[in-house]
Amino acid sequence: MNGSSPFRGYSVILVALIIAISTAGYFLAGQTLNRMARPQRPVQPGQELRITTDKGTQTLKVYVIRNPNPQDPFPRRKLSEGQGILYQFSAPQDDSWSGLGHQEAISVAFLDRLGKVLALGDIEPCPRPPLGKACPSLAPALVYRQVLEVPKGWFARNQIGPGARVSLKGLEGNP
């Protein structure tokens, strides 16, 4: 006799299966905890944004995303007329901006820390990057601290250009 039983092979497979299942469970639990730890994004626009020019003041209901993590895809949603997304960064940025995740074309304003519009541009939508390529992007060639996304053409329709001033005010009923 060689001392091995027919069940030895099965026990090795069983131990390997238990290790694989526990490793996968550990990984999935970590992913779930990481997802839960991230701040939840607002479902409805939470603040009113005012844009003041020499021609008057326009208002816009905005989603405010503070300090978006560059490793996470920015939350993007379809924007109705009169809505926007304001991204606020704690440090100066000079990266190009793309329409990744958008289903429709958008207009963007690059703002300084105090809310002055530095530059404007339009970006085509890019729901998913093309295979082996990046989404088309807009390089503002300046340093900015905030980016405001609105439906394409909103700035032009409202006669808003560089130099306009942007300020936030909480909507009534919201803290």
Q: What is the pLDDT of residues 99-128, one digit of tens each?
A: 888 888 999 999 999 999 999 999 998 888
* List of residues 6+ apart from 129 with CB closer than 8 A: 100, 135
Q: What is the pLDDT of residues 13-44, one digit of tens each?
A: 878 778 878 777 776 766 655 554 444 444 44
What are the Cα distances from residue 158, in Å, to 25, 51, 69, 126?
A: 53, 10, 31, 25
- CA 153 from centroid of its chain's CA atoms: 21
CATH code, domain carrying 132: 2.60.120.1140
Domain check: are 24 and 71 in the same one? no
Matching residue, tokens 């250009």:
161
Q: Quote the pTM value.
A: 0.70
Q: Based on the structure, what is the number of domains in the chain?
A: 2
- Domain of 65, in residue numbers: 47-170
Q: Using CA atoms of 25, 27, 29, 31 in order, give the dihedral in degrees to the nearest 10.
A: -150
Evaluate whether residue 8 is within a structural domain.
Answer: yes
Per-residue confidence (pLDDT) for residue 53, from 0 to 100: 93
Residue 150 has pLDDT above 60, yes or no: yes
Evaluate whether residue 42 is within a structural domain.
Answer: no
Domain check: are 65 and 92 in the same one? yes
